[in-house]
Structure 1
């Protein structure tokens, strides 16, 4: 361990290598529950690509594991420390290097906060659509690592669709450039897409070239109340079948609404069983909102309330963004599932989750990116209650199994990390798992990059 620290300090600034035990403890885990974290040897906080390369060359030579980290807002344990590892925190690499309105790209370092990039490109009349709920805290590097999504995925897609190229430091310290700056390009294997969502297991992203879009008009939303989650899901199916492309289509069940009100005092309706939020960002959204409102009414909505202006629309979205934090506050601890199913099975997913909550005697709130079938069943429990904690873990697994049975996937945007590695093996199958391991070995033959995560 002494040799590791000596070698790191030889090529890094004095403030870039941290070994104080109290500070180390503060970096050991992300926001996921039920994920163990080890004791790291050091935290390295580089300012430049060359410092990341020095760190990886040192780790490679000494066969020391390296766990890359962003803001640690992840929900799968992917950023958790392993014993004796280097925690490579990229938060100090936070420069926006370029915004090009002609090519509609931004070039950024991994520590740039998502919201900061969004605000910066907006000054040029552009937008960066991926908007995770934690967008005011999470980093672009973390978004790339987990392949994150957000509220606007139903229209604009996920992070992977906006990453054009990457600079990546490999396990042995070499620098790999992937992708392009051009609007099109199909030269060679798509290594960029391979690295997006790899959770730091293939390399360390140190620079990203991101696609931008023209800034759309402000969203205008409506809220529809339903007597059942099934009726709300029926409305989602009707909206999509009719060919509408909302900028977002979000669902919150009654448990979630009560939790959000308790946390924010927003006064959202608690008598309804499900609230559906739909928004459009077209130049004239009123006709689409009326059409969607009619479809909600036909599906059994008890009330449909269009927002009067953009400010009221934003207030509704703030309530949705607060959902996961609010559910976490219900009992002090939560496990957030991230199961994506075909839209046609969304009602089955919510009904099945309600049955699991009843079977295990737990509070499970569901919020969802309903437009793309990505549900977030959130198990609320008291971590000090051993029996309740056990039931929470078992219910989490039951929800994962339900999602696979419905033709879904174990994660739509949060990643695998430690939390879902056993389930990833089930989803991939033996052949898929074998190929994943072969790819990992090609990039990282000594197995030092985020070991124990994914598979």
Structure 2
């Protein structure tokens, strides 16, 4: 089948786009979820145009070959991992910014543009695209759309879905495999028909391949942000502080948590000059302009004070503040240096954050698993990172048991199995535990209707 696929692709697509080298194909066959299984792809295509994507999908449908889309490969759930015999469809070279409409606060981009690269282009025109996952320096807009990525400022400004107005996608089903469908709109409002754009956001490439995205923008922030730092003697106290911020009706533009182990790992790696004495650190940012922003920042300090912190202050050192937020973005790769990391992504109601943080400690102790905890604490989205020694099969098994217990604990608190990383391969069992049977049946029905041949990223998200 590999030779037949390669020959068929070569008749329609420039051969310099096709990748057959075994090692290079393997390098394109997995994301950063190193615990997720990876199949052996038949060939990879580094697409440069929408037409190449459309031709590839049509050919794959004719040959019944699976299509696995990928961007930068920064995902953490195995959503971009190859399945045996598939075409890996690499979209990272489709990087054009087709339009920036400052009058209507809209941008039209290809899926391969990197999040931070887009932000830099928009900044020059006084515009802003808010979603900012920790992987923003590397992750692509297409990948962000696939997983409905959030990030540090989503507590105030929302997630990717809130900023996707429309898209073009190569689809199958009623559209016919290989045809391009325009979804959504570019107006500020619109309710014409079902919201198929929102359906595609977060679908992880299982319903079609996104080739263009129309994004909602904001004017660039004008205020000078204030950073509030709180140090606590326990994760639970930090969780209490977050719950109090919410209880008081405060909405910082970021509210992040890092535990002691994470701070130590970042400092040992990057030598940023971090003080890592506390068991937990909360980083809040307020971007409201003027005196109102000063009052809001002091309100966050007051909320932190209710949880008996070691200290809670508004930072007066801009460099120190940037260093602390840099540490938050470096948390995952810093912990990854300590051993294979199994990354969680549960989300709980914010009032349940103290209970969930306490439960994490209990689960880690019971299984003897080292857990480094970071979180978008302001919206209850936790990323416990389960770390195991290299080559220790028993520790790996214990971590996997702890992983499932963390999911169950989040569900008991009314939470969800994934806040922003996606279901991919790692969370399929958890998804089945979260959704009721009728809801799952509806989702299977949507998949069957839009991809009756089951070639778009098969074996991900939904179990059979």
TM-score range, shorter chain: over 0.9
Cα distance change, pair 68–218 in 1 and its aligned pair in 2 (3 A): farther
1-structure distance, mates of 2:207, 2:32: 22
Distance 1:383 1:427 in 2: 32
Residue in structure 2 matched with residue 306 of structure 1 by the alignment: 314
Q: Give 1:155 shift.
A: 0.3
Q: What is the distance in 1 between the residues matched to 2:24 and 2:262? A: 35
List runs of 5+ in structure 2 lacking aligned partners. none
1:358-369 correspondence runs (5 A): 358-369=365-376
Report what 1:73 is aligned to: 74
Structure 2 equivalent of residue 33 of structure 1: 34
Cα offsets for 1:308-363 (capped at 9, x unmatched): 25433222210111111112122x21011000000011011110010111011121
TM-score (norm 1): 0.98
Matching residue of 1:434: 441
User: Does 2:211 correspond to 1:206?
Assistant: yes
1:226 & 1:336 partners in 2: Cα distance? 24
Q: Aligned match of 1:294 in 288, 302, 307?
A: 302
Write the mapping of 1:189-268 to structure 2, written as runs, cut at 5 A. 189-216=194-221, 217-268=223-274
Secondary structure of residue in 1 paired with 2:371: strand
Matches within 5 A, 1:53-132: 53-132=54-133
Q: Which residue of 1 aligns with 2:170?
A: 169
In structure 2, the partner of 1:424 is 431
Residue equivalent to 1:412:
419
Please give the alpha-carbon distance, in whole angstroms, between the structure 2 residues aligned to 1:305 and 1:268.
16
Is the 2:250–2:299 Cα contact (8 Å) retained in structure 1? no
Is residue 164–residue 210 contact of structure 1 (8 Å, CA) maintained in 2?
yes
Residue equivalent to 1:271 = 277
More deviation in 281-290 or 5-14?
281-290
Give 2:184's match in structure 1, choosing from 176, 179, 186.
179
Give, in angstroms, the shift of residue 296 of structure 1. Answer: 1.2
* Aligned mates of 1:23, 1:278 — CA distance in 2: 42
From 390, 400, 417, the counterpart of 1:383: 390
Scaled by the length of structure 2, the TM-score of the pair is: 0.96
Residues of 1 paired with 2:363 and 2:307: CA distance?
25
* 1:383 to partner: Cα distance: 3.4
1:69-127 Cα shifts (integer Å, max 9, x gaps)? 00000000010011100000001111111111101011000000000011111111111
Counterpart residue number, 1:4: 5
Count residues with an aligned counterpart.
454
1:220–1:309 Cα contact (<8 Å) kept: no
- 1:4-62 CA distance string (max 9 Å, x none): 11110111112111111121111111100321111111001111111101000100111
Deviation digits for residues 292-314 of structure 1, max 9, x if unmatched?
11221222111123222543322
The question of whether the paired residues in 2 share the 8 Å contact of 1:218 and 1:310 is answered with: no
Counterpart position of 2:336: 328
Among candidates 355, 368, 371, match of residue 362 of structure 2: 355
Conserved? CA contact 1:360–1:395, under 8 Å: yes
Query: Could you tell me how far apart the structure 1 residues matched to 2:249 and 2:429 are?
Result: 37
Contact 1:253 1:366 in 2 (8 A): yes
Question: Which moved further from structure 2: 270-279 or 350-359?
Answer: 270-279
Q: 2:351 and 2:296 mapped to 1: Cα distance?
A: 22
Q: Is the 8 A contact 1:225 1:274 kept in 2?
A: yes
The worse-fitting range, judged by mean Cα deviation, of 209-218 and 109-118 is 209-218
Q: Distance in 2 between matches of 1:239 and 1:386?
A: 41
Shift of 1:244: 1.2
Q: For the Cα contact (< 8 Å) 2:147–2:420, is it kept in 1?
A: yes
Say if 1:366 and 1:378, in contact at 8 Å, map to a contact too. yes
**CA displacement, residues 182-216 of structure 1 (integer Å, 9 cap, x when unaligned):** 01000000000000000000010000000000111
Instruction: Summarize the Cα distance change of 1:344–1:299 in structure 2 as closer, same or farther, 3 Å threshold.
Output: same
Unmatched runs of 5 consecutive residues or more in structure 1: none
